[in-house]
Amino acid sequence: MIRILYCFLLVILSPPLLFGLYRKRPNKPKFGKRWIEHFGFGDHLYCKQQPLWIHTVSVGETIAAIPFIRKLKEQEPNLTIVLTTTTSTGAEQAKKLGALVIHRYMPIDFGWCIKNFLKRVGPYQLLIMETELWPNTLHTVHKASIPITVMNARLSEKSLKNYSLFSSFFKQLSNNLSLIICQQNSDKDRFLQLGVPEHKLTVVGSIKYEINITKETIEHANQLRNMLGINRPIWIAASTHKGEDEKILTAHEFICKHLKDALLILVPRHPERFDDVFALCNKLNLITVRRTKNDMVTQRTQVYLADTMGEMLPLIGCADVCFMGGSLLGDKVGGHNILEPASLRKPIVIGPSYFNFSDIVNTLRDRDACIITTEKELKNNVIKLLLDSGYATKISDNATCFIKTQQGAIQRTLDNIKI
């Protein structure tokens, strides 16, 4: 009965959801003729062995899955992997894997769409990155006798409260799952509170600790730093959201009064906002250069707008301090992953709203490995890190040392999955 009600609501909500998905926006990759894949159509997949199906949602989950997929292909070079994403920006990240995967768009959550997909792809197992649980997908895949594993699963206190309101519905979802591989013990405890049987739960740590900082990334970061200015103070605001850029730019205006040649690298989370953020910088009379325009950056340049996709690591790598966005907007976003700047040995500043990554942030905070700031104190914290290299090094070294102790989650995940 609950699933029937869900299907009814999905019929009503799917038109506006699809409109938002397909709507043309500046700098957003196009779906083109591949939009039919969202309905389970597309080319049939012909291969000697049944493929493994891995689902990620968008950019963040796809990036996190890349090291896992590379490691998996090292161990199973003949394995065919079908990687699905919902968004076109996620598809752009999937391209980085080249021939290691076959990319398809994830069918929308109607049973007939999922059945179409299964007929054309024929996977023997589904791995879901993090906690992307769609009722009809789980039901249809489970009914087809295909095991479903959720890997790198996390469940925040907020999500626990939301799911608890529909505990019987969540129990139906979890009945379709073979295994939930959790990041932390706290995640396992929350799943247990929702009624998931303990034999379906295991803890291996976070795959996101397995960030591979390649030689190419370091070289790219060094090139960017040379272009932006080796000796000037540079900080980056990564993955910012609407309503947050104004707060960051206001802080940067203050910073520029105390550090005349300070430069802010501003990286909006969503590409469709690039033009709006550029207009905002101009409105505030900040001298701004867009990365895509290849204009020369001078000592007078105050903001470097990174209006590209897939360059976050080298952009963070060329900065002195990293502020992680999505954390100055109350309970709207809940922060973003701070492990990338930590792996690059950058001192990290994050706002007070980080509920999506509370375990990681609180653990690093307790080890004096990151700074949690209010909007009001953001400017002062950034200035202190830019001026006090000893303090900045202490923060970044503490984070890097902790990350090294946490690695190995990819292999532990593989050990728990019957490939």
Q: Which of 21-30, 62-71, 265-274 has the lowest mean pLDDT?
A: 21-30
Q: What is the mean pLDDT of the chain?
A: 92
- The mean-pLDDT minimum among 2-16, 227-241, 255-269, 334-348 falls in 2-16
What's residue 13's pLDDT?
78
- Single-letter amino acid code for the residue at 86: T
pLDDT at 115 over 80: yes
Confidence band of 202 (pLDDT split at 50, 70, 90): very high
On the question of pLDDT at 55 being above 80, the answer is yes
Q: What is the pLDDT of residues 90-106, one digit of tens each?
A: 888 888 889 999 999 99
pLDDT at 100: 94
pLDDT reading at 28 higher than 70:
no
User: What contacts 24+ positions apart, CB below 8 Å, involve 298-302?
Assistant: 299/229, 299/232, 299/261, 301/263, 302/252, 302/256, 302/262, 302/263, 302/264
What is the rounded CA–CA span in Å between residue 344 and residue 320? 10
CATH entry, 27-211+408-416, from 3.40.50.11720, 1.10.490.130, 3.40.50.740, 3.40.50.300: 3.40.50.11720
Q: Kindly report, residue by residue over 137-149, the tens digit of the pLDDT.
A: 999 999 999 999 9
Whether 20 has a pLDDT exceeding 80, the answer reads no
Reported confidence tier of residue 21, pLDDT bands at 50, 70, 90: confident
What tens digit of pLDDT does each residue of 312-329 get? 999 999 999 999 999 999
Please give the Cα distance from 102 to 104 (Å, whole number): 7
Confirm if 153 and 184 have CB atoms less than 8 A apart.
no
Q: Looking at residue 1, what is its pLDDT?
A: 64
Percentage of the chain exceeding pLDDT 90: 68
CA 281 to chain centre: 26
| Superfamily of segment(s) 215-405 | Glycogen Phosphorylase B; (3.40.50.2000)
pLDDT over 90 (residue 64):
no
Could you tell me the residue ranges of all domains in the chain?
27-211+408-416, 215-405
Quote the pLDDT of residue 230. 95
Active site residues: 61
Average pLDDT for residues 23-35, to the nearest whole number? 77
CA 149/CA 54 separation, integer angstroms: 10
Question: 105, exposed or middle or buried, with CB in 10 Å at 0-12, 13-18, 19+?
Answer: buried
User: What is the rounded average pLDDT of the residues 377-390?
Assistant: 98
One fold for 27-211+408-416 and 215-405: yes
- Per-residue pLDDT for 27 more than 70? no
pLDDT, tens digit (0-9, with 9 covering 90-100), for 344-379: 999 999 999 998 888 789 999 999 999 999 999 999
Q: Cα separation of 136 and 277, whole Å?
A: 38
Q: What is the pLDDT of residues 206-236, one digit of tens each?
A: 888 888 788 999 999 999 999 999 999 999 9
Which segments within 263-339 are labelled E, that is strand?
Answer: 263-268, 288-290, 303-305, 321-324
Output DSSP code: residue 27.
T
